[in-house]
Structure 1
Amino acid sequence: MSLPLIPPMLATSGALPPTAQDARWAYETKQDGQRVVAYLAGDGSVVLRARSGEVATVAYPELLPLGRALGPTPAVLDGEVLALDEQGRADFQLLQSRMGLVQSPGRAARRAAEVPVHLVLFDVMHLGGRPLVSLPYTRRRILLEELDLNGPHWSTPAALVGHGEQALLATRENGLEGLVCKRLDSVYEPGVRSRAWIKIRNMLSEDVVVGGWLPGKGRLTGLPGAVLVGQRTRGRLRYVGGVGTGWSESERERLAALLRTAESDVCPFDPVPPVTGAHWVLPRLVGEVRYSTRTRAGLLRQPSWLRLRPDLAPEDSAANLPDELT
């Protein structure tokens, strides 16, 4: 049958609901993967659409049997495609080697053997010819769990009602990306970033040395659009990424003045990073940044600036980096 196109509902960044309202919310683990909506037509086929609307089915051939999981019952399901590391945690860098293969079925099949993916399902928006988006989360969740969608490459993880503080602590203790809080009475809002769903990302922080910057554009012309940062390891300053967010306007202007006084013709990073248009500075400014995780090469993912650390010397920014960077 013909199924309606349903763009995924999006969560808003925020904090845990107030303790007094805790029992009105469900808590699901936030996974670091690719959001997809799965369309099961009831004829054995499945179509996976990314958040952009692009069809991503070819990239994940191991998920094709999902099309037969409900027999003749058509359904539209919401979920996240993950690639898992040796500890069973989602690794976005691993997944990136799969995401770009939407036009290459042969390469996708070969990569599937090397880096298999797993689809976690957390909502159902259409089932058996019936739209479910107007039903509350609790009812949709019951219908989803009744489908018993647990297979070799897909599963339906449990949601926890109440106990938000304990759920968030568990994600931190297990090195997971974070938590998604979903109001029990919330309807499914296609394509809407809603306050009925709140995402909380567990972030780490470390001290870094500023070794360069990239010019800003538009209203940031003349100011740093991003700073290039590194950390000391084995006597060398190794590049760990660019940070372009986290400043107020006055903080960015102050940073620009500090960078101008530290200008240098010599790149302080070893090796020199492949960054076009960089302005190098003497590596004497230390800052604290927040980030979600590191890539396998040691680069910071989703970094944002927290503050300058004038109380620290550049030598204090030592870090335990992966072997690729030491």
Structure 2
Amino acid sequence: MARWTRGESSQVPPTIEPMLAVAGDGEVVDDPRYHYEFKWDGYRAVMRVAPDGTTMLTSRNGNDFTQDYPELRGVFGDGLAGRAAVLDGEIVALDEYGHPDFTLLQNRRAHPQPVSYFAFDLLRFGDTVLLQEPYRYRRELLSGLTPADPNRVAIPPSYSHAELSEQGLTPQGLLDIAARSQLEGLIAKLSVSRYHPGRRSHVWLKYPLIQTQEVVIGGWRPGRGRRAGVPGALLLGAHDPGTGDLLYIGDVGTGFTERALDSLGEMLSPLSRPASPFANEVPRDRARHARWVEPRLTGEVVYRRFTRDRRLRHTAWRGLRPDRDTSEIVVPRIG
């Protein structure tokens, strides 16, 4: 019987900081040296399983997610045959059609929504740490695991270039399938690549279907009418990768539910500060009536373009990102 404990079990393996992908340019790389996976829209998390079944979840920024997702307790049952394991994956919430829906993760408190863990890498199995093993070998081991509840843990497919060719598909064609299936995109991983904890590496290339940007909330402007008393718009920032300064990069005033606005108002109120936290000047029309806050909350927006004056255009709010640390958020590339 798997145990579920708040404290750290001595048998639970230590966590491993997730490896990160870089953005691919243009069409998906078409190269027999790569494997291809769908990109899932959720919270990145490392799952650690002790030999006795004790399960712990750690976010990308080191936060303990264990108590937030009790439905993921004991999900491997006897599938690990009494061995410890460390897996890399994504916590996702599926809609009624089986599509990952980031909004459902955001609304779990108001509308409890079961989640699943999509495991896409195996970093440790038993006493063996697999970080120096090639990706294709790690995936082969991962595919041999048998979760106790396949509705709670899924091991999604990884396609070699040869497998795609046998099916008459190109990597770009697989991205088209992702688009039709309402998935977030595709990731190409070099088949011989090792796992580099905490590093963003060119051996993993991501091809998102929508442009998203993680942001730091540095202030808000009160709403009007029905939004009176709650944020009408958020003032957004990201760090300059060279200097580390927090820069204002735009704002967002659409994409919120009423419940999200109420919740944001409650979280931002105790973070109030007298002056802007941004190192650069906020345009006067954006700063007017602004209420500044300590930059401690991280969120995500969809946007259409990032301009040469380093501003996000045509933004919409997606939600908070408790799995990201504010220090990780950097200004996007101009495009």
Aligned residues: 233
- In structure 1, the partner of 2:94 is 84
Q: Which residue of 1 aligns with 2:146?
A: 148
Cα displacement (A) at 1:227 = 4.6
Structure 2 counterpart of 1:291? none
Secondary structure in 2 aligned to 1:70?
A: coil
Q: Is the 8 A contact 1:213 1:226 kept in 2?
A: no
Q: Distance in 1 between matches of 2:239 and 2:90?
A: 35
SS in 2 for 1:23: coil
Superposed CA deviations along residues 177-218 of structure 1, whole A, max 9, x for unmatched, are: 11111100001111111111111111279xxxxx99969899
Partners of 1:47 and 1:213 in 2: how far apart? 33
Deviates more, 1:76-85 or 1:141-150: 141-150
Q: Which has the higher helix share?
A: 1
Deviation at 1:301, TM superposition (A): 2.9
Q: Which one-letter code corresponds to 2:248 in the other structure?
A: G
Q: Is the 8 A contact 1:212 1:227 kept in 2?
A: no
Change (3 A) 1:116 1:213: closer
The amino acid across from 1:97 in the alignment is N
Q: Which has the higher strand share?
A: 1
Distance 1:2 1:167, change over 3 A: same
Match of 1:303 in 2: 303
TM-score by length of 1: 0.61
Provide the secondary structure at the position in 2 that maps to 1:180. strand
* Cα distance in structure 2, aligned partners of 1:67 and 1:181: 27
Deviation at 1:124, TM superposition (A): 0.5
Aligned residue identity for 2:153: W
Shift in alpha-carbon separation, 1:123–1:146, aligned structure 2, 3 A: same
Gaps of 5+ in 2: 1-10, 162-169, 213-231, 241-246, 255-281, 293-299, 309-313, 315-335
**For the residues of structure 2 that align with 1:94 and 1:230, how far apart are their CA atoms?**
20
Any conservation in 1 of the 2:28–2:172 contact (CA below 8 Å)?
no
How far did 1:70 drift?
Answer: 1.7
State the SS of the aligned residue for 1:196. strand
Percent of pairs identical after alignment? Answer: 35
Whether 1:198 aligns to 2:227 is no
Q: Distance in 2 between the 1:49 and 1:81 partners?
A: 11
Alpha-carbon distance between aligned partners in 1 of 2:238 and 2:184, rounded to the nearest angstrom: 31
Computed over aligned residues only, the root mean square deviation of the Cα atoms, in angstroms, reads 3.8
Question: Are the equivalent residues in 2 in contact too, given 1:171–1:179 (CA < 8 A)?
Answer: yes
- The structure number with the bigger radius of gyration is 1
User: TM-score scaled by structure 2?
Assistant: 0.59
Q: 2 CA distance for matches of 1:87 and 1:74?
A: 34
Q: CA deviation at 1:30?
A: 0.7
Name stretches of at least 5 consecutive residues in structure 1 with no aligned partner: 99-106, 206-210, 232-255, 268-274, 278-299, 309-316, 318-326
Aligned partner of residue 100 in structure 2, secondary structure? coil
Report what 1:158 is aligned to: 157
CA distance in 1, matches of 2:29, 2:42: 28
Distance 1:27 1:147 in 2: 20
Cα pair distance change 1:187/1:215, threshold 3 Å? closer
Alpha carbons 1:26, 1:182 under 8 Å: kept: yes
Q: What does residue 59 of structure 1 align with? A: 68
C-alpha distance in 2 between matches for 1:128 and 1:197: 26
